[in-house]
Structure 1
């Protein structure tokens, strides 16, 4: 049962959770009571239980392709063609543990209150550190972000937690990418990026343009890129069609990475899978535009009645 995902009938009489799940995570695995055998139409409520009862009737046993913990979520991939991907989310509500089992078909519906990365950049003003060696850096003027210039140990753009870089993005033009691949410089850059909790490379061009380079063989560059990705799989390379799209992707990646790592930090101290009772206090909610405008006008700072508030005003409000 160690390498399989197992579904069985719950032998406990009168239980409102009639099924048992064996999740092969960690040395002892995770045993859950569940309301359904798969999250098909909505997320399934589960409850942790101790040990696997010897009289449980096994209904299904499926080999597991991968099972890994990422922050408050367990990603489970089964070795079968259909209904093979799901996620078990552990959170807390009203002082007790809540567990929900969801699949790709149910994630668009209502989720439990849990800090998981989404397509939005954490829902707050993001402070991005820009390496001082960037000659023409992204300004993030169209995003809810502020920037500071500082020398970074790796990458061109980064976010920090408690003064430590936790995620970084290396920016490349297509010509720079080709040159760094053929000379081997990118290997050293990827090694530095791989040492961070989260990192990526963004290229300001389409992948197809590799095969239209004038001074180097596209096949050589594509082969070198594939070898670099195989060697450093934890550092993805993203091709964006234009510089503005590359800037937008960088902003989204850094925000999502910071949110995921913050969620992971809240649960990392727990023994096995038990979420900690305490932990760091959540970050305050971002200020509303009305709050910032009222604060600015009270201090004689001119701001428009509508539209985006200048980043300098937001930065001043946050540092009050």
Structure 2
């Protein structure tokens, strides 16, 4: 990648050109500095990079394809280098793509053992036996995301059989996009009047054990059934959007 500057100035983007070996030998550029990459993530047309240094470390590269004015059936690539500061100053006045998408195009499989399942308006739903979790986002026969649903009483009862709970959560966390969604607030498990024969400190330790034993598992505490249902629907929409936006970008992997 060739850039116009060594780091984007505040409120500005830096235009970049991708190195293309197939285009022949280009004039060699000057290497100004070399920094190790601490983390990198691709999300559709955007790639976030975190550099291993204290300052000037967070940035994004935006990969776009534009049609030629004279040749509308052909496209060319534009690459913009953005920093955290410029993205804050240029904050878009639109809702996230996951919220704009609604439930259209989603296919949700509900485990056949669910007695009173959540609802997913504008989505296609079906009942089937799931190997893990209670709800799965499926596309073209592939499971994209899985959610395990727990009521307050469900999770409280599972604290008495922690080895079995760990087994189920281990299988759940094998899915890249996963979540254990609880239809209760965290503080409910610290309320002596609600946890029955359990001690609140025991419940707190059990929940902490879940986080420590399954670092790849998302544990989400929602206030009630309605909130848990809404969170799961938004989660599924966001995951589906990650896949569809990555495919529609039609870009080479940088």
Verify same fold: TM over 0.5. Answer: yes
Shift, 1:251, TM fit: 0.3
Q: Cα distance 1:32–1:54, how it changes in 2: closer, same or farther (>3 A)?
A: closer
252-261 or 121-130: bigger deviation? 121-130
The question of 1:46 aligning with 2:46 is answered no
Q: Cα distance 1:220–1:187, how it changes in 2: closer, same or farther (>3 A)?
A: same
Correspondence for 1:25: none
Q: Relative contact order (C-alpha < 8 Å, sep 6+): which is higher?
A: 2
The question of 1:170 aligning with 2:161 is answered no
- What is the RMSD of the two structures over their aligned residues, measured on CA atoms? 3.3
Correspondence for 1:296: none
Q: Which residue among 57, 62, 65 is the counterpart of 1:89?
A: 62
CA contact (8 A) 1:71 1:268 kept: no
Counterparts of 1:61 and 1:36, CA distance in 2: 11
Name stretches of at least 5 consecutive residues in structure 2 with no aligned partner.
68-74
SS of the aligned residue for 2:108 comes to strand
TM-score (norm 2): 0.75
SS of the aligned residue for 2:148 comes to strand
The question of 1:98 aligning with 2:99 is answered no
Name stretches of at least 5 consecutive residues in structure 1 with no aligned partner.
1-30, 112-116, 275-320
- Cα deviation code 1:78-135 (max 9, x no counterpart): 3455554322233433222332333444446377xxxxx7441634513322111111
Q: Cα distance 1:49–1:269, how it changes in 2: closer, same or farther (>3 A)?
A: closer
CA contact (8 A) 1:121 1:251 kept: no
Counterparts of 1:127 and 1:44, CA distance in 2: 40
Counterparts of 1:153 and 1:177, CA distance in 2: 19
Number of corresponding residues: 234
- 1:104-119 to 2 correspondences below 5 Å: 104-107=84-87, 109=90, 118-119=97-98
The question of 1:130 aligning with 2:110 is answered yes
